[in-house]
Amino acid sequence: MAALKITRENFNKEVMESDVPVLLDFWAPWCGPCRMVGPIIDQLSEEVEGKAKIGKVNVDEQTELAAAFRVSSIPTLAVVKDGKVTAIQIGARSKNDMKNMLGL
């Protein structure tokens, strides 16, 4: 399963009400490091299916979500578990780092 496109409209259902941890990738198409992380995010979304969700938030389109997470630099990765932010990392990360953030 590919990473979910997270928007203001589906944020509560897909992230806040999720029964599994959610890794959010805050990105933009013009961001070089974000494009490097993109394939890793897609691989990870398949590997963790059923154990976690992976979502992508385009900061240019979802300015309110970016502001709510205080995103000042991208890529920014955030984990939400049980409706609470449990981890935030700024910058490109390895797949293992992302798994560790999710507790997997």
**Cα angle for residues 70, 73, 77 (degrees, 5° grid):** 75
Whole-angstrom CA distances from 66 to 26, 49, 51, 59 are 7, 25, 25, 6
Catalytic residue numbers, as ranges: 31, 34
Residue 85: phi and psi, rounded to 5, are: -75, 120
Q: Residue 5 corresponds to which amino acid?
A: K
**Using an 8 Å Cβ cutoff, are 80 and 21 in contact?**
yes
**Strand, coil or helix: 15:** helix
